[in-house]
Structures are given as structure tokens and as C-alpha cells.
Amino acid sequence: MSAPGVARSPGAVPFRLERRGIVMTPLEGEPTEAWGVLNPATARREQDTFLFARLVAEGNVSRIGRARVVFDGDGSPVGVERLGMALEPDEAWELHAGGGGVEDPRITHIPRLGRWVMTYTAYGPLGPRIGIAASADLEHWERLGPASFRYQAALRTDLGMYHNKDAVLFPEPVPGPDGRPAYAMLHRPIWDLSLFLPGAGEPLPDGVEDPRPGIWISYAPAAAVEQDLGAITRFEQHRLVAMPERDWEALKIGAGTPPIRVDQGWLVLYHGASGRLIPGLDLQPHVRYSAGALILDPLDVSRVIARSPDPLLEPELPEEVAGTVGNVVFPTAIEPAADGTGHDVYYGMADCRIGVARLTRIPVENDAQE
């Protein structure tokens, strides 16, 4: 049996990323930012763009801050105005003795729900899992709870027992595997249970032969979510979307930015890691993170129809090579550029700072013929 939803030999992605600069650095003397500011979400309300950065205090305790992005006269992001905290680790499932907290947020505006919905990593007593919160004004956030995954007999495993990270939501209902409209979430389960239960190994789902972390998708029925917002934490119909394929992503891949609609389908920037992992270590010194792109079929978002063979962005600048964790570019947020020339992509730089790059489309041969 093969895991459902994996596309083979997709086409190339006609987009490029070009750096625009650094948007946020740790504030000197601020204890909540002592270990860095990184991996932000963004959201736009009226004329303002808000940035929700992961703020890391000494001891690797994370909070999610709230700031307003500052633009220069050309419409390029050049800094932030800090506005306080959006989320702090308060729930039992967000806390553990060695640090943890609330990490790596992504925000999707879902007009049909009248909400911005944040997915984030809740680093609790049993390790990382996906937390979900919602806001009607980008100021007040209501926790909806940790994501849960309905048992799927065909996989012969419970996805809920694994660590999970890198979750992003689509901004509108998409066709589910059963034909019903659904709110879909990309996520990345981690099969190695020995990370918190020594000797447990890697009990893989049926049809999954490669233990490396890849991108999965799960669905919450739209009718249930639109009747009860809390249902957006309850997912089912799980499918494997993509696995590592190239040398630059040989260790693992995970979703980065929330999906945006482009002509071909749904575009998702993702991260890929290469190098050497040290078992049991949280901050890995010998791993290199780069960024690529997927385009998903709009009629079946579990199917990849295009994929970048080479990184669109990889660590090259001094600020990307040296930091809390070196050699990291980690895209997590995307917004339309103020001047209309593509999209601004916000990304973590070496787990210490936040940079921005401009995503633009590369003209292809078919464009000239149209």
C-alpha cells in the first residue's frame, strides 16, 4: 500500500526570491528577546501590516510578540514598531520544565469565518504539538486548543501521538478527499517517538516507508467549522503530500508560508534541511535550512503539480550563517507587496533575526505566446 496523495515528477515553479533586507533584530536589554526574534507570522488589517514574531528568552522560552511593520517610501519593509505580546505560554500543553512555550506562528485570514487563525507550535511536557488560536481584530487572541487528528484505519496509526510542527491553513475551503468542502491544514508529523520515550523507535503509518519528516495534509469539514469555530482543531482524512527529494532537503521538509492562490494552483513556500542530525539535541549545529516552493492542485490540494528543484533562498548572508542556530533561512509569512510587484516573504535568519525577500514570478515561454 502506498500513502495517498503523493505526486511524482512535478514541474518546476516559475518564481524567484530576492532579499530586501532585515526587518527585526533583538532589542538590546530586552530579556524576552535575549536568544533572538525569528520565524514570524504576518497579517494585514486595513492599511497596516502586523508582524507576530517568535521571541526567545534565555533558556529557550518562547513567546509570540505583536508589532507593526514600518515601510520606507518605496513600500519596502524596513523595521517594526513593537506593540506587546500576542500569546505567552499559559496552558499546561504549552509549558514544560526545560523551556518551550509558543513558537513559530503562522496566520491565515479566513474571510468566511470572519477571523484570522493562527497555527503555532506549543512546546509542552511531551514535546511539540500544534496549537490553534483565532482573532477578530489581531489584538485579542482566543485559544481554540491543540489540533487533534481522527484515527484513520487505513494508516493503522494515530497521528495524534506524534510530535507535530510547521502547520499552515488554507484561507478558504478546498475540496476534501470525500468531495465535501473542508478547511485544510498542512503539517509535519515526526515519527521518532524516542525523542520523548527512549527506545520507542519509529512506528510508521501503513504505506510510509521513509521515516524522514515530510509534509502531510488533514481536513476539517467546512460545515462543522462554520457552525462551531472550535471544529477547526479537529482534523481527519490525512494524506501525505511531499517528502524530501533533493540533496538540499535530504533530512526533512516542512511547510513554511500559508498557501496563496496563483494561476497554477496554491503556492506554498517550504523549508528543507540538509546536513547531520545529533540524536536527542534540540538546537542542531550541523543542519542547514533552505527554502523552496510547491504548487498544489486546486482540485486536490494533496497533489503537488510543481516543485522547485533548487532552493529559492539559502543561507548566504552573515546574518543567515551566524546566529543562535547558524545556516538557517526559514520562511513563515507572506503578504502582497505594497507596490504591487509580487509578495513580501518574511523569514527567520539563523534563529536570531527576521529578514524579508520579494517573491516575483519568472516569465515563462507560455507567457510570451498568450
Confidence band of 193 (pLDDT split at 50, 70, 90): confident
Predicted confidence (pLDDT) at residue 285 exceeds the cutoff of 60? yes
Q: Which tens digits make up the pLDDT trace of 322-343?
A: 999 999 999 999 999 988 889 9
d(CA 37, CA 66): 11
Q: Which tens digits make up the pLDDT trace of 286-308?
A: 899 999 999 999 999 999 999 99
In this prediction, what percent of the chain has a pLDDT beyond 70?
94
Mean pLDDT of 37-55: 97
Residue 223: DSSP 8-state: H
> Which phi and psi (to 5°) does residue 213 adopt?
-65, 135
* 55: β partners: 37, 63
Q: pLDDT value at position 368?
A: 45
Q: pLDDT value at position 153?
A: 92
Instruction: Please give the C-alpha separations between residue 201 and each of 122, 135, 163, 282, in angstroms, as whole numbers.
Output: 23, 39, 13, 18
Confidence band of 200 (pLDDT split at 50, 70, 90): confident
Q: pLDDT value at position 282?
A: 63
Predicted confidence (pLDDT) at residue 46 exceeds the cutoff of 70? yes
Average pLDDT, the chain: 92
Q: Which tens digits make up the pLDDT trace of 217-237?
A: 999 999 999 999 999 999 999
3-state DSSP assignment of residue 51: strand
CATH code: domain 22-369 is 2.115.10.20
Q: pLDDT value at position 283?
A: 66
d(CA 174, CA 244): 25
In this prediction, what percent of the chain has a pLDDT beyond 90?
82
Mean pLDDT of 180-192: 96
DSSP string, 144-209: EEE-EE--BTTTTB-GGGSEEEEEEE-SS-EE-TTSSEEEEEEEEEE--GGGTSTT----PPTT--
Mean pLDDT of 188-198: 86
Confidence band of 6 (pLDDT split at 50, 70, 90): very low
Confidence band of 2 (pLDDT split at 50, 70, 90): very low
**When comparing pLDDT for 3 and 39, which is higher?**
39
Q: pLDDT value at position 5?
A: 39
Domain ranges of the chain: 22-369
Please, are residues 129 and 163 in contact by the beta-carbon 8 Å criterion? yes
d(CA 150, CA 137): 31
d(CA 17, CA 8): 25
d(CA 285, CA 275): 9
Predicted confidence (pLDDT) at residue 280 exceeds the cutoff of 70? no
Q: pLDDT value at position 367?
A: 55
Predicted confidence (pLDDT) at residue 8 exceeds the cutoff of 80? no
Which three cell numbers mark 325? Answer: 542556530
Q: How many beta carbons lie within 10 A of that of residue 237, not counting itself? A: 20
Q: How many beta carbons lie within 10 A of that of residue 18, not counting itself? A: 12
Q: pLDDT value at position 302?
A: 98
Q: pLDDT value at position 233?
A: 98
Least confident of 94-98, 197-201, 218-222, 305-309: 197-201
